[in-house]
Amino acid sequence: MSKLSQTIASLGKYLLDNSTHAILGALVFALFPYTKWLAVAVMALLTLRKGWREGGYLLLIVSLAYFGMLSLQIPYGIAMIKALSSFLPCYLAANVLRTYVSWRAVAGMCLLIIFAFVSFIQLVTPEFIVLQFKLFKAILVELNNNGPLIDWIEEGGYRQMDVANYLLGTQALGMILSAILSLMFARWVQSLMFYKGAFKQEMQAFRAEKPELFMLGAISFAAYFGVDIAINLLPAILLYFILAGLSLGYSAFARKKPLGTFLVLITPMVLLPYIMLPIYLLFGSLDSVFNLRLYLHGQADK
């Protein structure tokens, strides 16, 4: 274990040994925008190690503190929504991970959260979707007045409400990604302290299965015909299979140089997303049917 890993493990143990330390640490982290994710991670670590009661107590304290800080700047209703969306998804996901020890179950919980969020928006405040789209369009016009994307939208290349619903689904996915990254960090710290190597094994074992592939097909089919909820959910289910494809690649090549393998897998996705994202999506989908890992591991054993 490197010195950095040892330091992080020691800090995690320091927070877990005394709940007061964890509460004070999370409150301090929550006060600053760039460290808020650490406050979420502390809550997730406490939930993973000590259970829903301890994690829920910290969730309540930090959410109220964060709400109080936000309410000085923005209306109470928006502040409450931002506070809950910042901490509650990760708390729920941490409880699922603690109970089932499965990132696939965590993904299912995240999809349910997104479904509940977009359904609430669609039923209660549908005007929010239109306002968000108008804001997005105004930003595009400001950045590039005669850009091809603006021309495409204006000429009706795609239904504007469909674009607005994709935008809402992407925003909901961003909220969940923030929670998942904090949960992954907390799980890694827990692995350093108690189960060395377990986090790496969990990441390598992450894969989609046939029910999720069927769900992908159903959501894609419904989105093609303009079903609003399906359009909202499509970015999340696509990302799920992309991450499954990344996990497959990491599982295949990470035995020798894990960090180098991770960089090799991520860099093309950043530089050539229109090529690499469909490739990872394809491999994630194929793995859900044929379990390619068994073949890869069999070849590696030879």
Over the stretch 11-31, which tens digit does the pLDDT of each residue have?
A: 989 888 888 889 999 999 998
- Give a yes or no: residue 189 inside a domain: no
pLDDT at 188: 94
pLDDT at 138: 78
φ, ψ at 47 (rounded to 5°): -65, -45
Kindly give the parts of the chain with pLDDT less than 50. Answer: 157, 300, 302
With 0-12 / 13-18 / 19 or more C-beta atoms within 10 angstroms meaning exposed / middle / buried, residue 297 is middle
Cβ neighbours of residue 300 under 8 Å, at least 6 residues apart?
A: 255
- Give a yes or no: residue 296 inside a domain: yes
pLDDT at 232: 95
DSSP 34: G
How many domains does the chain divide into?
1
**Residue whose token pair is 């795609």:** 158
pTM here?
Answer: 0.91
pLDDT at 250: 84
- Give a yes or no: residue 260 inside a domain: yes
- Give a yes or no: residue 44 inside a domain: no
Q: Residue 244 sits in which domain range?
A: 206-302
Both structure tokens of 112: 């349910």
- Give a yes or no: residue 251 inside a domain: yes
- Give a yes or no: residue 118 inside a domain: no
- Give a yes or no: residue 196 inside a domain: no
pLDDT at 111: 95
User: How far apart are alpha carbons 119 and 126 in whole angstroms?
Assistant: 10
For residue 7, the SS3 value is helix
pLDDT at 112: 96
For residue 195, the SS3 value is coil
Residue 253's alpha-carbon distances to 75, 121, 199, 249, 264, in angstroms, are: 50, 42, 17, 6, 10
For residue 21, the SS3 value is helix
pLDDT at 130: 84
pLDDT at 254: 62
Length of the chain in terms of residues written? 302
User: How far apart are alpha carbons 97 and 201 in whole angstroms?
Assistant: 14
pLDDT at 256: 60
DSSP 32: S
- Give a yes or no: residue 131 inside a domain: no
Both structure tokens of 211: 């029910």
**Amino acid in position 277:** L
Total Cβ atoms within 10 A of residue 28: 13
